[in-house]
Amino acid sequence: MKIGEISKHSSVNVETIRYYEKIGLLASPDRDASGYRAYRTAHLERLLFIKRCRNLDMAQDEIRELIRLSENPEADCHEVDALLANHLSHVRDRLQELSNLEKTLQQLQKACSDAGTVQECGILGGLSSELETPHNDRGDHQNHVPGTHRPGKS
């Protein structure tokens, strides 16, 4: 099948498919006589696997590692379990960060007086000064796989 067909079957954008090929998550398909990419069922299955992993917010390095592990089906699955446990830990950390973000936004919203001018706006005043914000207990923003899910820039 051509790239448009595999895109339609997987609901993955054509540019994303090309990107996955470029970074090595998806093997490059052979080309047909006219030079078009000729995808096989194995490409579709891998693409759907990648899509499911991305839907679970897994980073490219995690997906790459899962693909590597899947290539040895007789091996013990403890590495797969460990990877998932690390990812789950990251998700829990992120949930805590989002909870802290929610509290900060609520604090900002409470700062809004019912005054009518922007100059008197408590929200803008709060954004212009340091807020008392709940901090991450770990404080290190460690990623579950080094180099992935980098903390946002302030």
The domain spans of the chain are 3-55, 81-154
pLDDT tens sequence across 11-29: 999 999 999 999 999 999 9
**pLDDT of 81 higher than 70:** yes
Using CA atoms, how far residue 79 sits from 29, 66, 113, 148, in Å, is 29, 9, 54, 18
Looking at the DSSP assignment, which residues form a beta bridge with residue 37?
31
Q: Under a CB-based contact definition with an 8 Å cutoff, are residues 52 and 12 in contact?
A: no
| CATH of region 3-55 | 1.10.1660.10
pLDDT band at 131; cut points 50, 70, 90: low
**Amino acid, res. 82:** A
